[in-house]
Chain A
Amino acid sequence: MSLLAVREVTKRFGGLTAVDAVSFDTHEGQIKAIIGPNGAGKTTLFNVLTGFERPEDGTVTFDGREVVGMRPHRVVRAGVARTFQNTQLFDEMSALENALVGRFPRTRTGMFSASLRLPGTAKEERLAQEEAAKTLRLVGLGDASSVPAGDLPHGRRRLLEIARALATEPRLMLLDEPAAGLNSSETEALAEVLYRIRAEGITLLVVEHDMGLVMEVSDDIVVLNEGKKIAEGPPRLIQKDPAVIEAYLGEEEADA
């Protein structure tokens, strides 16, 4: 059964159809990639899948539950975590504190019980710290836990955002261009982290421009162009797909 079922999702901004009747499925344990030229609608699609945007049409079913209409924090609590194309870290907080915020959906202490340090608060805090530290180690940031997120170099910021998403204990993770701005050794380390996440039993949906990385890690690829899905399939077939080649050639000509 599919973990995430996207059906005929359409999102418009005024006259522009950013996502146009897109449908696909993601199965448990997969790494699925979403590729497409700039402006193809990948980020908008992610925003729809995580409750940040409400589509004009279509349904998104995660583990049998309708996601459309849920607010973002509800989607996370349901088990879908995400990162952002432009990292949305809490810069003045340490790496560990960032990951601790990620523990939010799995912890309970509210203003009232915190203010009085009611019984159970200290224990929950200690466990949260342990879990947060664990996710930092998983992405290779174990040595940076007390460094403010704003002081981390770009590559490590991307990893920290992944750690923070992991800390929410998701079943599905959506990563928006995790390799953007990484050098080749950082990209290799990232691929390693993606495998480790999959080994934890977490399903991955990854928007990525780095074709080397996409072809290496993904089990399955969805190609978007101008909001529409133009192809879907395993990497070796996608590479040869004429529609895909044309979409990318078009982009290169436009860039030149």
Chain B
Amino acid sequence: MGARPGRAQRSRLVLIAAIVIALAALPFVYSDAYLLKVLSFVGINVIIVAGLSLLFGYAGQVSLGHAAFYGIGAYTSGVLAVRFGWPWIACVAAAVVVSAIGGLILAVPTLRLKGHYLAMATLAFGQIAYVAFVEAKGITGGIDGLSGIPSPSLGPLELRSAESNYLLVWFFVGVALLLAGNIVALRPGRALRALHASEAGAQACGIDVVRTKVQVFVVSASLAGLAGSLFAHLVGFISPSSFTLVLSIELVAMVVLGGMGSLAGAALGAVVLTLIPNLDAVVPGMSPRAVELLQDWNADIFGVILIVVMLFMPGGLAAGAGRLAGWVRRRRPAPSEAEA
């Protein structure tokens, strides 16, 4: 907490620095194309979940339609690149803007909805978007998808390799987490948490509840759109099956698994749940049969993990990690003299 910076904050900074260095160094020490591709997908999900964490984890506004924003970003980027030849960076920017507009369009009519009703409305939005991706064949390529999306490029520099795409995705992960982390640490983040806890209390503190909800919807949708754009140029081919309700539910599961009021927790939730069906990328020598099992039973595994977490770890991975850190600190000899 802001009132007592110092040790806890410093060890957090050290941890963040270590993670950044490890992620950046990885392709230079161990350049396995499959691993880097899987980790790129992990990064893409972390970006979406960073936004969903603001919306759902912090502000308490559930969305079962986040795959739609992700899809809107992917199609905006893909269509502009393939059919209009826009440069990559312009496609990314357009994807963010169009998904933000999508967020606005969803936020305004659903402002008064809460809980299950908001869940249903956002779910319907996701389904409508999915149907639009399928039916707007002339633009999206329909169920057959849109292929030939070029790799990211900046001027003459084209990022084709798994290494460069991995680094690009994780650069954006870093930016997204930094921006979202700043938001939650300061005044607007407190407004989100206040809104979650008590709308009346938030209003009595001068918070414009309507405006705040719309803002967080838009920010959340933009991040999903950014992730969608990165995905489109990474894989080169998109089809509606990448943007289904199942994904929306998995994204919510990542936030819950990670911990509602924790950005780092949500990111960790995304890492864990994205890795499970691709475990062979990080566990060398796994039998193909085991991987197949993991993929076939993916939804069931998610479900069981969620139930276990909700029963035994109500605050998610973040709270679990917090308790573990506290336990470690207590077991270490008093640090104050040693450090002074």
Residues on A close to B: CB < 8 A? 50, 52, 71-73, 76-77, 81-84, 88-94, 96-97, 100-105, 107, 109-111, 114-117, 121, 124-125, 128-129, 133, 145-146, 164-165, 168
Min Cβ gap A56→B in Å is 21
Contact: A115 with B183, CB < 8 Å? yes
CB atoms of B206 and A73 under 8 A apart: yes
Contact B204 A146 (CB under 8 A): no
Q: Are B187 and A104 within 8 A (Cβ)?
A: yes
Contact A107 B179 (CB under 8 A): no
User: For residue B194, which residues in chain A have a CB less than 8 angstroms away from its CB?
Assistant: 90, 93, 101
Chain B contacts for A73, CB-based, 8 A: 203, 205-209
B33-69 CB mask vs A (1 if < 8 Å, else 0) is 0000000000000000000000000000000000000
The answer, yes or no, to whether B167 is at the interface (CB within 8 Å) is: no
CB of B21 within 8 Å of the partner chain: no
Q: A-B contact count, CB below 8 Å?
A: 117
Whole-angstrom CA separation of A114 from B212 in the bound complex: 14
- In the complex, the answer to whether A71 meets B208 with C-beta atoms within 8 Å is yes
B186→A114 contact, CB < 8 A: yes
A128 partner residues in chain B, CB cutoff 8 A: 187
What chain B residues lie within 8 Å of A109 (beta carbons)? 186-188
Q: A117-B182, A121-B186, A125-B186 are in contact. Are A89 and B201 (CB under 8 A)?
A: yes
| CB-based contact A114/B189 at 8 Å | yes
Interface range on chain B: under 10, 10 to 19, 20 to 34, or 35 or more? Answer: 20 to 34
CB distance from A76 to the nearest CB of B (A): 4
A92 pairs with B1, CB closer than 8 A: no
Known: A116-B182, A117-B186, A129-B2. 18 other contacts (CB 8 A): A76-B205, A77-B206, A84-B201, A89-B197, A91-B197, A96-B3, A102-B205, A105-B205, A109-B187, A110-B187, A111-B188, A114-B187, A114-B188, A115-B180, A116-B179, A128-B187, A146-B3, A165-B204
Q: Is the interface of B mostly helix, strand, loop or mixed?
A: helix
Select from chain A the residue with minimum beta-carbon distance to B179. A115
* Contact pattern, B 1-16, Cβ under 8 Å of A = 1, otherwise 0: 1111000000000000
Are B198 and A89 in touch, CB under 8 angstroms?
A: yes
Question: Residue B200 at the A interface, CB < 8 A?
Answer: yes
Task: Mark B residues whose CB is within 8 Å of A.
Answer: 1-4, 179-180, 182-183, 185-191, 193-194, 196-198, 200-209, 215-216, 219, 261
The answer to whether A145 and B190 touch across the interface, beta carbons within 8 angstroms, is no
In the docked arrangement, what's the CA distance between A88 and B197, Å? 8
Closest chain B residue, CB of each to CB of A107: B187
Return the contact of A96 from the options B1, B197, B200, B203 (Cβ within 8 A).
B1
Give the residues in chain A near B3, CB-CB below 8 Å: 96, 129, 133, 145-146
Complex Cα gap A250–B155 (Å): 84
Q: In the assembled complex, which residues on chain B have CB atoms less than 8 Å from the CB atom of A96?
A: 1-3
Distance of A111 Cα from B216 Cα, bound (Å):
9
Q: How far is the CA of A94 from the CA of B208 in the complex (A)?
A: 22
Interchain CB contact under 8 A, A101 and B205: yes
The reply to whether A88 and B198 contact each other, CB–CB distance below 8 Å, is yes
With A52-B200, A101-B202 given, is the CB distance from A125 to B190 under 8 Å? no
Q: A88-B198, A115-B179, A165-B204 are in contact. Are A101 and B190 (CB under 8 A)?
A: yes
Identify the 5 closest CB pairs spanning chains A and B, nearest first: A105-B206, A88-B201, A90-B197, A72-B203, A115-B179
Q: Tell me the complex Cα distance, A127–B205, Å.
A: 17
Residue of B nearest to A88 (CB): B201
> Are B204's CB and A84's CB within 8 A?
yes
Report the nearest B residue to A93, measured CB to CB. B193
Min C-beta distance of B185 to chain A, whole Å:
8
Contact A104-B186, Cβ < 8 Å, known A88-B198, A111-B215: no
Within the complex, the shortest CB–CB distance from A131 to chain B, in Å, comes to 13
Contact check, B188 vs A110: say whether CB atoms are below 8 A apart: yes
